[in-house]
Structure formats: C-alpha cells, structure tokens
Amino acid sequence: MRIMAILRKELRQLSRDRLTGGMIVGMPLLQLILFGYAINTDVRDLRTGVVDMSGTQLSRQVTADLAVSQVMDLVMQAETPEQLTAALRRGEISLGVFLPRDFDRRVIQRDRPAGQILVDGTDPTITSVANQLRQFPIRFDSQARPGGSAGPAASFEVRTYFNPERRSAVNVVPGLLGTILTMTMVMFTAVAIVREKERGNMELLITTPISRGELMVGKILPYILIGLVQVALILAVARWVFQVPFVGSLLDIYLAAMLFILANLTLGLMISTFVGTQFQAMQLAFFVFLPSILLSGFMFPFDGMPRLAQWIAEILPLTHFLRLVRGVMLRGAELSELGPDLLALAVFAAVTLTLAILRFSKRLD
Amino acid sequence: MTATAVIQARGLTRQFGQLTAVDRLDLDVPPGQIYGFLGPNGSGKSTTIRMLCGLLTPTRGDAQVLGFDVIREPEQVKRRIGYMTQRFSLYGDLNPVENLQFMAEVQALPGSERRRRVDQLLERFHLADLRTQRAGTMSGGQRQRLALAAATLHQPSLLFLDEPTSAVDPKSRRDFWEFLFQLTETGTTILVSTHYMDEAERCHRLAIIERGVKVADGPPADLAAGIPYAVVEVMTGQGADARSLLQSRREIASVTQLGLRFRVLVDRSVTQPVELVRQVLAGEGVSGEVSLSAASLEDVFVAVTQKEQAGS
Ligand SMILES: Nc1ncnc2c1ncn2[C@@H]1O[C@H](COP(=O)(O)OP(=O)(O)OP(=O)(O)O)[C@@H](O)[C@H]1O
Ligand SMILES: [Mg+2]
C-alpha cells in the first residue's frame, strides 16, 4: 500500500523532528495558557479610579467596601467623571467608580442605579469582573426606607466602554480549539508537500508509479492523527484546568473536530500546489488564517457583520466548526441537528482535495 | 540499431522563456550499454534527462523511451525506469533501511520480496554497516551508493544517472563505475551524465553537449579518431611566448597548457603539423620539444567546442 508507505514515512520523520513535535504539543498548550488568563475570571487588584460627587458617609463607606473586596485597587481619586473617562482611555485605570451627587437618595429610592462602574471593555476579563460587581451589596446602615421594604437591593449600573458585546469566558475555548487547529493543520500539509519540493525529494517521488491521489491522501492521514491529539490536549486542559463545562457529547465534539481537521488539511494541500517554497506556503496559510480569525465569529459576532463578510465567512471552515462546537459543547446540541455545517465542512474538504489532486502535477514544468 | 534503441529522441527541444536549454537533440541509445552525456555546467544535461524521464514536457520534438512516448505516456515510462537525480533526493532524516523500504513500497515490490531485496542491496552497495545511520549524516560517496541502490531497487531495464559522481573521490568513483558495469552485464541500459573526461572515456558511447546542442556522438575512440585536427605536443620553458605565437596562426585551432606541456590542435589540411609548429616557434627563437600525439577525449572536447564557437 503506497498510502501506508507515505503515512509511515511522514510519522517517522515527524518523530525525528523535535521542533515540529514540540510545536504539536507546545502550541496548543501555550495558546491555551495564554488565553487562560482571559478564561480565568478570578482577577484581583484591578487599578481603579473613584469619583465621589456626593461625599456622604454612605458613599465613603461604599468606596471603602469596594477597596477591601480585593478586586479593586484604588489608585486614583478624581474630581469629575470626565477625568475618570480620560484616565480610562489612557489605560491608567481599568475600572472607574462613579458615585453621583444624589447617591444617598438613589440608594434609598432604588428607582435608578445608585452608581456607575465604568469598564475598559477591551479586556474581556475585566468586563466579566465588572458584571459580577453589579451585584455588589450596598449596605445602608440608617434603616429608613420610605419607599417600602421589599424593593430590589440598591445596585450599580455597569457601563462597558470600547466593547459593548460582552463575551463570556466559556465562549473562548471552542473558538480557541478552532483557531489553533486552523493555524497548525493548514500549515502542516502545505509545508509537508512543499518541503519535499524544496529538498528535492519530490523529483524522485514523482518519477515513481505513485499516483497523485495516493500521495495526497498519504500526506493527510498522519496529520489527522496529530490533529486529534491536539484536540484531546486542548479539551483536557479546558476541562481540568479551566473548568469549561462540556454540555454535549464528547464523541460529537471529536467527530466535528475530525471533519474540521480534514477540511484544513485538504486546504493546506491545495495551497501547496500554488507555491514553491515553505515560506510562500506559510504566507498563504496566514492569508487564510487571518480572515478565519476575523470573520468566523471568533472575534466578532457573525450576525453583526456586513453581508459580504458573512458570505466570505460561510466559505471558511472555521465558521462552520465554531457553530458546530459551540452548539455541541455549550448548548448540548446533537450533531444531527447541525447538518448544514457538517455538510459545509464535508463539501469544503471534498472540493479542496479534488482541486489539490487535479492541480498537483507529476511533472516539473 | 535504431530499431532496437532503448531511447530514441528526435528534435527534442526545451525552452525556458527566451533560453533554449536543449536544442533539437537527436538521440539513439542502444540497449545494454553505458551511454555518456558529457557537457559543461548549464549545457542541458539535466533538462534532457528530465524530458526523457517524463518529468519535463518538451517544447518541440518527441522521444520514445522503452517504446513509450514521453509526452503522451509519461507514467508508463516512469514505471519502467530508475532515476538518480543530480541532487540527493532520498530522505536525510531516514536511515538507509527506511529509505529503501519506503522506495520498495512506493515501487510496489511484493511484501515478501521487499525485505530480501533491501538486504541484498545494502550488502551489494556496501551499506550494511550503515543500516542505522541517517542518510543526512552519511558521506557523499555513501549517499551516492544509497541513491544508486534506490534507483535499481525495482530492477529497471533503463537507468538515468544525472552526474552521479560529482563530489565523490576518485577511488569511490572507480568503485561506482564497477557497479555500473555489473549492471550492464545483466542487460541494463544506463544513460549517465558527467563532466569528467575519465568517466566519459569509460562509456560505450558518448554524446557531447554544448549549450543545448549535441556537438559529437559516438564511441569515445571513434570520436578521438574523427576530429579534424592533428594533436601536436610541445614541451617548452617559454610558455607565454609559445602560446601567443601559436595562437596567432590560422591553421592552429587551439592551444591548451598542461604544466610545461602544450597540446596544440592543428588543422588536418596541414600535411606536416609537427614541422609547422617547429617553424612557428623557431622563427621567433622559442626552443622546445615538439612531437605528434594521439587525440584524447579532452582534445575531442576542445575540438568540438572550438568548432561550435567558430560556427556561431
Ligand atoms: N526550471 C528552469 N527554469 C529556467 N531555466 C532553467 C530551468 N532548468 C534549467 N534551466 C536552464 O537551462 C539550462 C540548462 O540547465 P541544465 O540543468 O539542464 O544544465 P546541466 O547540463 O544539467 O548543468 P549542470 O552540469 O550544472 O548540472 C541552464 O542555463 C539553466 O539555467
Ligand atoms: Mg545538471
């Protein structure tokens, strides 16, 4: 079996290539740990500025309570809300607490939020922390409650600056699974073919009876295995280190991932037929990677994108994989309910593989 | 001979943009012989071999290899030939056994035969001691033996060897040629490119290529006998004077210095070439020993390339 010959040879070479071997394990781990900062909501000592316009005993009490909560580190006392937003913009503080002139009255009447917390929304971690602060209890020691006894507790209003869409931490893991696979898988097959061209191995290989299909499929199979290893690694870290809940079936997640891996590998093969050097292959892989990150719904919500961007996104495997894995992992959907996205990935893989085989030439010219 | 030719090319031409790398090449390679391709760098040896292997499409002309058309049936050709590329093209991170096993599988040798054949080749090409050494760390000569082993793995009846002995010491080269002659004894035809004269001398037949054009073709001895020049050897201490004097004569096609000796190609129209050279030198007071010599392949090479330049 020629396919098995290629498969065995690829795996053998990989096992000897320490750098690539290290990347296979190291890259997903590193990415996850780096992003884990975003996933980890247990954040402390955010630099905070305070504007207390009321200056009452109650407002000073609330400020002191916030300071001892360990979430905030009060680094700035401002005079006006404008100073607060300016400091926020300059990045000097991540949170701003605004207590209005009528703070006491608002706490008592509870008709409007008692105060505001201004949030630097560019950092999702901070956003999620601020959302928890919404529930920060405001004790009002003088017991007078003219407005009745059963009203809701006084609370803060949270204003997110710069990033009105608040992403939940859990959402990051499926997205990360998809982006890491895109980043590694496309590159693997693109480079695996081009490296042989560069090193001169291809000239010998295409002078043997091996068929184009055998060569292409033989190049894909080993990397499916490697992709699944990466998936297992990422899921394990997500589950045990970051406590991301898996609502749906693990088997479904793996099946979706396998199809997605295949689509990326065949895309890599197709890329390899357009380029002559590993450097070009990487550039082209990156050219695919960027729109995947931006348009797939990993960065920005899909529904908010312009129509054209959505059309482009529908071509990208990552878009469909994100829908699949979010559906299965977070909403507990069954794969059978997500047919269109499965079909899209399968068609993408079939088309790119066919193109790769047709475009690959057993000639040098 | 044409009827049984293993390789037959007619007007084979390959252009890269403006450059004509191979120009209207006619080739007839008889079976069971070593056919040499002699030519300097960039003369089109590799390009020709690639066209004959079905790897490059000729711009014009056609070629039959083992009875198959290289343009229309390249896969039939590839199935039946062995090809040793100019650059080492096995895997540097695999050892000889793994490389040969891989090639055996790709060549679809039956499973039972594979291991036996690999062992046999390792033995035959003196690679048995290097079984576990990665090809990338082997010496040039060892790599070259491994590449030849890989090319002969499936026992093809026709072998293309593209400068197999560049970067290999003379002893290893001699050993390598022993292998080649052993292969021809079993009926294998070998087309080998080289730019070493001593190797060209050992071929049954030889084509000399110069800038894409075949300028000579035949058994080395015939080529030497057939040049339109007499070879006169001059031994002198006054090298610079002798050279300029001789070069100024129209009857003298070329002067090549080898230490204290000069090899002078005198046109065959001169009936007394030795006398002519003596007179030319004595006339200006240059002393030296002058004698007639047999043409070597080196002289053939100089002669045919000389003719090319004169003609162009
Ligand atoms: N793929 C290509 N694209 C453009 N030009 C090429 C290509 N391949 C070869 N050439 C040119 O064709 C000419 C012949 O090259 P070729 O490799 O056949 O020479 P060669 O006789 O094998 O030389 P060497 O002894 O250096 O190996 C050279 O001028 C080379 O630059
Ligand atoms: Mg060459």
Nearest residue, CB atoms, B53 vs list A6, A207, A209? A207
Q: Are residues A239 and A294 part of one domain? A: yes
Amino acid at B303: A
Chain A contact probe: residue of B75, B91, B99, B144 with most A CBs at under 10 A: B91
Q: Are residues A247 and A222 part of one domain? A: yes
Q: Are residues A355 and A294 part of one domain? A: yes
Higher pLDDT, A108 or B179: B179
Q: What does the pLDDT read at residue B56?
A: 96
| Residue B50 touches chain A, beta carbons under 8 Å | yes
Q: Are residues A280 and A175 part of one domain? A: yes
Q: Backbone phi, then psi, for B119, in 5-degree steps?
A: -60, -45
Amino acid at B105: E
- List chain B residues with CB under 8 Å of A4: 105
Domain boundary at A114, A133, A161, which? Answer: A161
Q: How many CA atoms lie within 13 A of A322 on its CB side?
A: 28
Quick check: A180 and A234 in contact, CB under 8 A? yes
- B142-155 pLDDT, tens digit per residue, is 999 999 999 999 99
Q: Are residues A142 and A225 part of one domain? A: no
Q: Average pLDDT of A333-360?
A: 92
Q: Average pLDDT of A72-94?
A: 83
**For the CA of B47, the nearest atom of ligand 1:** 18
d(CA A310, CA A296): 8
3-state secondary structure B94-131: CCHHHHHHHHHHHCCCCHHHHHHHHHHHHHHCCCHHHC
**For the CA of B50, the nearest atom of ligand 1:** 18
Q: What does the pLDDT read at residue A163?
A: 36
Domain CATH number, residue A114: 3.40.1710.10
Domain boundary at A161, A181, A202, which? Answer: A161
Domain boundary at A161, A190, A224, which? Answer: A161
For residue B89, what is the nearest residue in chain A, using CA coordinates? Answer: A201
User: What does the DSSP 8-state code read for residue A125?
Assistant: H
Q: Are residues A253 and A136 part of one domain? A: no
Higher pLDDT, A327 or B128: B128
Using CA atoms in the order A296, A302, A305, A306, what is the torsion angle rounded to 10 degrees? 90
Return all residues near B220 (Cβ < 8 A) that are at least 6 apart. Answer: B36, B200, B201, B203, B206, B297, B300
d(CA A238, CA A250): 13
* CATH number listed for the domain at residues B7-219: 3.40.50.300
What ipTM was assigned to the predicted interfaces of this complex?
Answer: 0.89
| Residue B83 touches chain A, beta carbons under 8 Å | yes
Q: Backbone phi, then psi, for A189, in 5-degree steps?
A: -75, -35
Q: Are residues A344 and A199 part of one domain? A: yes
Q: Is residue A24 included in any domain, yes or no?
A: no
- Which ligand places an atom closest to the C-alpha of B50? 1
Q: At how many degrees (to 10) do helices B96-106 and A2-16 cross?
A: 150
Q: With bands split at pLDDT 50, 70 and 90, how would you rate the model's confidence at A350? A: very high
Domain membership of residue A110 as a residue range: 46-161
Does B89 sit within 8 Å of A365, measured CB to CB? no
> Measured in angstroms, how far is the CA atom of residue B211 from the centroid of ligand 1?
10
Q: Are residues A205 and A186 part of one domain? A: yes
| Residue B98 touches chain A, beta carbons under 8 Å | yes
- B255-295 pLDDT, tens digit per residue, is 998 888 999 999 998 899 999 999 988 888 888 899 999 98
Residue A169 has pLDDT above 80, yes or no: no
For residue A198, what is the nearest residue in chain B, using CA coordinates? Answer: B89
Q: Are residues A176 and A138 part of one domain? A: no
Q: Is residue A313 included in any domain, yes or no?
A: yes
Q: Is residue A146 included in any domain, yes or no?
A: yes
Does B83 sit within 8 Å of A204, measured CB to CB? yes
Q: Is residue A365 included in any domain, yes or no?
A: no
Our count of domains for chain A comes to 2
Highest mean pLDDT among A32-46, A134-148, B68-82, B237-251: B68-82
What percent of chain A is modeled with pLDDT above 70? 83
d(CA A195, CA A272): 10
Q: What does the block give as tokens for B139?
A: 């010496």
Domain boundaries along the sequence of chain B = 7-219, 228-294
Q: With bands split at pLDDT 50, 70 and 90, how would you rate the model's confidence at A105? A: confident
Of B215, B239, B243, nearest to B228 by C-alpha is: B215
Chain B contact probe: residue of A4, A10, A13, A204 with most B CBs at under 10 A: A204
Residue B162 has pLDDT above 90, yes or no: yes
Mean pLDDT, all residues of chain A? 82
**For the CA of B22, the nearest atom of ligand 1:** 14
d(CA A37, CA A52): 31
State the CATH class of domain B228-294.
Answer: alpha beta
Amino acid at B64: Q
Higher pLDDT, A123 or A50: A50
Q: What does the pLDDT read at residue A170?
A: 61
Q: Are residues A211 and A114 part of one domain? A: no
**For the CA of B17, the nearest atom of ligand 1:** 4
| Residue B54 touches chain A, beta carbons under 8 Å | yes
Q: Are residues A305 and A190 part of one domain? A: yes
Q: With bands split at pLDDT 50, 70 and 90, how would you rate the model's confidence at B33? A: very high
- List chain A residues with CB under 8 Å of B103: 208
Q: Is residue A66 included in any domain, yes or no?
A: yes
Q: What does the pLDDT read at residue A41?
A: 46
Provide the shortest C-alpha distance from residue B106 to chain A (in Å). Answer: 5
Q: Is residue A18 included in any domain, yes or no?
A: no
Q: At how many degrees (to 10) do helices A212-240 and A172-199 cross?
A: 150
Q: Are residues A263 and A133 part of one domain? A: no
- B181-239 pLDDT, tens digit per residue, is 999 999 999 999 998 998 999 999 999 999 999 999 999 999 988 888 999 999 988 87
Q: Closest residue (by CA) to atom 5 of ligand 1?
A: B16
> Measured in angstroms, how far is the CA atom of residue A362 from the centroid of ligand 1?
19
